[in-house]
Every structure is written in structure tokens, then in C-alpha cells.
Amino acid sequence: MSVQIKSPQDIEHLRVAGRLAAELLDYITPFVEPGITTNELDRLCHDYMVNVQHTIPAPLNYAPGGHTPYPKSICTSVNQQICHGVPNEKPLKRGDIVNIDVTVIKDGWHGDSSRMFCVGETSSHAKRLCDITWQAMWHGIAKVRPGATLGDIGHAIQTFVEENGYSVVREFCGHGIGRKFHEEPQVLHYGRAGAGLTLQPGMVFTIEPMVNAGRRDIRQLADGWSIVTRDRSLSAQWEHMLTVTESGYEVLTVSDATPTPPPGFANTST
Ligand code: MF3
Ligand code: CO
Ligand code: CO
């Protein structure tokens, strides 16, 4: 098995799927308020995908080796949940932070992105965790260009996160994506500069760091999916899907309302 190089036509399909994932996150944003349940967010997203976008929710019944089929159409990871939080009947409350991770399939191609949301007024330490995680993702993205390595990405993310007093989750990573939801390569969010696979134009993968306010250790809940911090500290995650271009990168999960990159960063590098 090796890393596929996508053709310009493949990348155009992934650009469309990526935009639809970003537009789905735009759509759900105003609903993320105190009192709504994550099941309601799931239903709203499901209906928008199926009835408005004519996309397929990739998570629904997704069952990679050894897992029970995922029961919902999106992932909602609240507070100490790191990732793969399964929507449920519990209402969100003021001060919660929630990651919403969506993956749509359009014409057989996947678009995968996630953002953090603050529910009403949120503590400054929770906001800082979300902000540092977002910046960490961008420090990783900024490394992407032909000739750079996967280790450069992981190293940039890990260094930035640890300088800011947080920890990087090791058990989950970014991934190649295309007609398959998860394919090679694995994109670790920690590592050594210069190590690992060398990037080439036409590669498409996600960068999706999970950052804990406390220790990096994880625990899996009995539902077989939800991953939480072992020390019950808060956790945040952001995810973009991008392609390596001749000169650098192009972020594919972009819509009109996608948060603009931090100062000094851009959705496309020149
Ligand atoms: N969207 C997640 C990712 O970024 C994967 C979710 S798998 C699911 O890779 F089954 F939990 F939905
Ligand atoms: Co995702
Ligand atoms: Co992903």
C-alpha cells in the first residue's frame, strides 16, 4: 500500500466535497446554543446533507476493523471528549465547548472537516484551548509543500502546543482521504522535523490535531466510540482537508464563512 497521487480531476471532486463539508459546518453554527441536544444537531446535519446537499453522511454505519458501526451522521465531542463523541439526548449548556466533525460524500468523494464551538459565554481557559488548537492546526498546514515531510507537520504542531502548556493526543491522527474515508498516509500531530514521508503534489490528507488542556492520556467510553481525556481535562480539535500543490498547499474545506486563518497564514500558499 502506498500514498495515492490525485489527478487534477480528482482534486476538483475533493474541492467540491470539501466545500460542502465546510458549508455544513456553516449551516449548523447558529444552532449551537445552550439547550440544544447533540442528537438535534445530528438530525439537522443529517437532513441538510441528505435533502439539501444531496450528500451522504460518511460516519453513519462506518465500521472500520473491530468497531461496531458508528450510529450517527456526525461526531459531537463535548468538553473532556477528545473525538468520536456520539450525539445523545443531553442538552448543551452555557460554557460547554464542542467539536463538530462532519464528513460528507459527494459523487463518491469525501470532504472531512471539524471546528470548535463555544456554547454561550465560555471561560477564558476553554476559549484559549480552542484558539491554541486552531493555531496549532495552522502551524501544521503552513509546513505543507513538495519536499517537506510528514514529520515537519507533526513537529510544528507538537512544538506549538507544548510551548503553550498543552498536550497532543497520540492515538489518533490525520489521514489520506479520497474515494475512501481513511487512507494512507497517517498524519501524526507530533514528531521530528525531517522524518517520515516526503510530500508530493497531488497528495490529499487531513490535519486534525487533538489537544488536551491536561495530560495526553485517553480513555474509551463503553459506547465503543467516544474517546475522553483520562484526567478529565478539556480537549479541543480542529480539522481541515488539504492538497499538496506545486508551490505549497490548498485547503479544500473552505466556504464563505470558514474562519479566516490567523494573521500570517492563508487558505492557499503561493
Ligand atoms: N471524521 C473523523 C475524522 O476526522 C472520523 C470519524 S469516524 C466516525 O477522521 F465513525 F466516528 F464517524
Ligand atoms: Co473529521
Ligand atoms: Co479526518
Q: Residue 270's pLDDT is what? A: 79
Q: Which ligand is nearest to the CA of 77?
A: 1
For residue 172, what are the CA distances in angstroms to 15, 158, 227, 265? 24, 14, 10, 25
Q: Residue 146: inside a domain, yes or no?
A: yes
Q: Residue 23: inside a domain, yes or no?
A: yes
Q: Which of 95, 177, 165, 145 is nearest to 248 (CA)?
A: 145
The domain that contains 220 carries what CATH number?
A: 3.90.230.10
Q: Residue 190: inside a domain, yes or no?
A: yes
CB atoms closer than 10 angstroms to residue 34: 13
Q: Which ligand is nearest to the CA of 67?
A: 1
Report the nearest atom of ligand 1 relative to the CA of 70. Answer: 10
Q: Residue 120: inside a domain, yes or no?
A: yes
Q: Residue 215's pLDDT is what? A: 98
Q: Residue 256: inside a domain, yes or no?
A: no
Nearest CA to ligand 1 atom 4: 112
Q: Residue 1's pLDDT is what? A: 64
Cα atoms found within 13 Å of the Cα of residue 38, Cβ hemisphere only: 24
- Residue 224 domain boundaries: 8-251
Query: Number of folded domains in the chain?
Result: 1
Q: Residue 66's pLDDT is what? A: 84
How many Å lie between the centroid of ligand 3 and the Cα of residue 59?
11
Whether residue 84 has its Cβ less than 6 Å from ligand 1: yes
Q: Taking the chain (270 residues) in consecutive chunks of 10 residues, what is each chunk's mean pLDDT?
A: 93 98 98 98 99 98 94 98 98 98 99 98 98 98 98 98 98 98 98 98 99 98 95 98 98 97 95
Q: Residue 142's pLDDT is what? A: 98
Q: Residue 270: inside a domain, yes or no?
A: no
Report the nearest atom of ligand 1 relative to the CA of 225. Answer: 11
Q: Residue 139: inside a domain, yes or no?
A: yes
Report the nearest atom of ligand 1 relative to the CA of 67. Answer: 10
Q: Residue 175: inside a domain, yes or no?
A: yes
